[in-house]
A and B are shown apart, each in its own frame.
Chain A
Amino acid sequence: MRLFGHRLSIAAGIAVAMALAAAFTAPPDALQGNLQRLMYVHVPAAWIAFLAFGVTLIGSGLWLWRRDSRHDRLAAASAEVGVFFTGLTLALGSVWGKPVWGVWWTWDPRLVTTAIMFFVYLGYLALRRATVEPVARARRSAVFGIVAFVQVPIVHLSVLWWRTLHQPPTVLRPGHPTIDHAMLAALLLNLLAFTVLFVLLVRARMRLAAAEQEHELRDGERELAGAAVSAPRLKGAQQ
């Protein structure tokens, strides 16, 4: 139990409970009514996806610089959480889009770039699975983790660069956020709750990865069962 121990789980519980309460007590939107409440989970999920891929970028960079396997584990754990939250963003956005826009999905630049980001980071996880040797795996995924981050600013700015159905940013924009203060407070509380949850998930995943690595190392020292039997040979085959 390193890094805050049980206190982090308790903090996450409290933050999630407060955020939920805020999301349900915030005033409904004039145009969208209660449907707008989906914002309180859709936007934080997208924020965590961006944050997670940012942490993967930092972990990858640190690994290339210091060659410490902890940084590799950080990058991997964060990418896993990021892929989950990207998927969640797409799913929640779909649920929001059906009643408000009228469709589950449309080929809008924001939606398409987000889906590409989802699949590229799935590729990152596949690359980690496909490479067995730990140092090669760490190096390849570090390069991948750095290059793939290009997508995060593309996804964020897609609504400004291209014409989209998706609305432009409400909070992360030059000037004042175009949202009522009570709604903004609820949104910020949910962003905080999701962030604490993200730290909790990454910490748990890193601990698991460290245990896995330890197990692998111990396995390497043990003599293989196969050493007790000799491999079958064809008669007369060349030695």
Chain B
Amino acid sequence: MKRYRLLVIALGGLVLVLLGLLMFGNLNSNLVYYLTPQEALTKKAEFTEGRRFQLGGFVRANSVVRAPDGLRFVVATGTSPESPSIPVLHRGAPAQLFQSGIGVVLEGSWRGARFVSDTMLIKHDENYAPPQSGGEQR
């Protein structure tokens, strides 16, 4: 019984340490799921050409152009026209819900000033409304 109690205390301690690390250990830079265009631009020196990372943001309205080598569009941190943005060349298949204005997470790397991606995920928001209601429609 004593040994079992020791085991419980040891495991409990381990869980607490892990939790503490997760919450206060500043692991965020390693755990972060995607970089916003603003972060990607400021950390550009860190991510050399060919080093893959995930870039997440909003597809800027009316920036989508279908080119022979892929899909060209601009990804911005926010939806306002002056928020930091990165031109993207997407070489993979576009996601089913891809459209101008929607949130995307792209996987790829820098090539010059352009981000070249081959995988696209759609990040939709928590708003749900029927088509005709106007307000949140995109």
Asked if A29 and B130 sit within 8 Å, CB to CB, the answer is yes
List B26-79 residues whose CB lies under 8 Å from chain A.
Answer: 28, 31-34, 56
| A residues near B15, Cβ cutoff 8 Å | 147, 150
Alpha-carbon distance between A160 and B86 when the two chains are bound, in angstroms:
25
Asked if B129 and A30 sit within 8 Å, CB to CB, the answer is yes
Q: How far is the CB of A85 from chain B (nearest CB, A)?
A: 22
Query: Known contacts being A103-B121, A162-B31, A163-B32, is A180 close to B129, with CB within 8 Å?
Result: yes
Which of B31, B121, B131, B137 is in CB contact (< 8 Å) with A165?
B121
Query: Known contacts being A28-B130, A140-B4, is A99 close to B105, with CB within 8 Å?
Result: no
Asked if A100 and B97 sit within 8 Å, CB to CB, the answer is yes
Q: Total A-B residue pairs with C-beta atoms closer than 8 Å?
A: 89
B10: interface (CB < 8 Å): no
| A residues near B127, Cβ cutoff 8 Å | 170, 178-179
Which of A31, A107, A109, A180 is in CB contact (< 8 Å) with B97?
A31
Asked if A100 and B124 sit within 8 Å, CB to CB, the answer is yes
A239: interface (CB < 8 Å): no
B8: interface (CB < 8 Å): yes
Asked if B121 and A179 sit within 8 Å, CB to CB, the answer is no
Asked if B126 and A165 sit within 8 Å, CB to CB, the answer is no
Give B36's nearest chain A residue, CB to CB.
A163
Query: Known contacts being A30-B137, A100-B97, is A39 close to B128, with CB within 8 Å?
Result: yes
Asked if A102 and B123 sit within 8 Å, CB to CB, the answer is no
Measured CB to CB, the residues of A under 8 A from B are 27-32, 36, 39, 99-103, 106-109, 140, 143, 147, 150, 162-165, 167-170, 173, 178-180, 182-183
